[in-house]
Structure 1
């Protein structure tokens, strides 16, 4: 692991998503299918917006190496139709695509999406890349836990877990490459501090979305 990744991980761990009460309840089989259905509707907003964040950010990056990394990440997202895979997960819970797309957006979900959107559009490039790292670096471990919980406690397999299987593999590479992109755009300690702050903000934004799901579904 690079020194850059270690510094980013130290900040990301302040919001270790595996320790969020909603994901703990998931791994322990304490969630109802209705809880998971509600989660599928809220988290879809993040999945749906992610390619837009990558596209916006790539247009702001001057360095070829970093821009290429973000563009390759975007190509993976678009090429595999990740929103479509997420909708297959929702379908496995009995929630059709129209219900997911038409669901009311909770304040915490809007805050999460807004934070990433604002970073991609307005914050410094190191900060914005850091936010994406704060999310993607945690995805492989979170995805593995989700898959195990879905199969063990809810009998969901096949298309219902394909999104998580794909991200469990892809985001190992994506997070490593994102750390490399951050390293390339950081010209000094100030830039790296910005990226580290962004990593913490990215993890915190996802945590906040989960807070909203747990609040509505009364998961403690």
Structure 2
């Protein structure tokens, strides 16, 4: 695939991401408008933890399937996820605690079918799909996270009484970190979407 074809591919991918933007989902619209019940927020915090906890595992699987610059890119992302000063699953548990979710609610509550599907889909993408497809999927996912995180922080402060740094840290980290991830995934796709440098 030449540069021009890659540019067209990225345009199509960006259009698809914009069309299916998570910020258009009713849950996120309700979050921004302060319409979520405390119970809905707590259920979300308990369930989404499964994805946050599994995400580094998915990246490790993808690291094992790659080499060269792409492997380095994924390792950097993984290092941020597992940062000893603030591993992302711990930051998420801090958010969950800030909205009234206990450790037992996170670890003992069964995953709902939709939660299981998200974790399974990421496992499949990172473990079984062609590497180019995995990178495109990670780009589609992480390209939306900074704006979603900003929206969540604003909503948590304004409507849901979460103002302590610990309760906001997960989202504040992602406001910045995923801008870099978005740019890195996009750059790789622009240069290597033909699969020659995995």
TM-score norm. by structure 1 comes to 0.80
**Structure with the larger RCO, 1 or 2 (CA within 8 Å, 6+ apart):** 1
> 1:101-121 deviations in whole A, cap 9, x for unaligned?
211111111111111101111
**1:35 matched to which residue of 2?**
40
- 1:49 equivalent to 2:54? Answer yes
- Higher share of residues assigned helix: 1
> 1:174-200 deviations in whole A, cap 9, x for unaligned?
111111233343227xx9xxxxxxxxx
Distance 1:183 1:75 in 2: 24
Runs of 4+ in 1 over 4 A off after TM superposition: none
**1:156 matched to which residue of 2?**
162
Match of 1:166 among 163, 167, 173: 173
SS at match of 1:146: helix
SS at match of 2:47: helix
- 1:180 equivalent to 2:187? Answer yes
5+ residue gaps, structure 2: 1-5
CA RMSD, 1 decimal: 1.7
TM-score norm. by structure 2 comes to 0.89
Q: What are the within-5 Å matches in structure 2 for residues 89-128 of structure 1?
A: 89-128=95-134
Total equivalences in the alignment: 187
Q: What are the within-5 Å matches in structure 2 for residues 58-73 of structure 1?
A: 58-62=63-67, 64-73=68-77
> 1:143-189 deviations in whole A, cap 9, x for unaligned?
1111110100112022111100000110000111111233343227x
Distance 2:34 2:24 in 1: 15
5+ residue gaps, structure 1: 192-220
